[in-house]
Amino acid sequence: MSRAHSGIAVHIDDNDQVDATVRAVLHDVLGIDAARVATFRSDTPLFGALPELDSMAVAGLLTELEDRLGVLIEDDEVDGEMLETFGALVRFMAGKALR
């Protein structure tokens, strides 16, 4: 599936690419050290556990994920479960991007 990002065609076709994109956005938007983000596992807690990911940062994070993955996240899809862990966020974004 081809997606446009900043004028560059991006091809998202597997979970590894979604995982890498989520990691990059956590680094780029929240300023979390890349080495730290690289250690995140599926069960790594996010919202409520990362001081960088507060309620104000959620909108910026999700907007950047939408842009990079070429998806639209509806307001009613945003809930605590999707941001609970790194794995939950990757699964949610993969469900959107890999349709």
Confidence (pLDDT) at 11: 61
User: Running DSSP on this structure, what letter comes out for residue 84?
Assistant: T
Query: By the 8 A CB rule, do 86 and 22 touch?
Result: yes
Residue 33's CATH number: 1.10.1200.10
Confidence (pLDDT) at 12: 72
Question: What average pLDDT values come out for the chain (99 residues) when binned by 10 residues?
Answer: 44 86 98 98 97 95 96 95 97 93
Q: Could you give the angle at which helices 55-69 and 86-97 cross, rounded to 10 degrees? A: 40
Q: Rounded to two decimals, what is the model's pTM? A: 0.87
Domain coverage including residue 22: 2-97
Structural domain count, the chain:
1
Which of left, alpha, beta for 74 (phi over 0: left; psi -120 to 50: alpha)?
A: beta
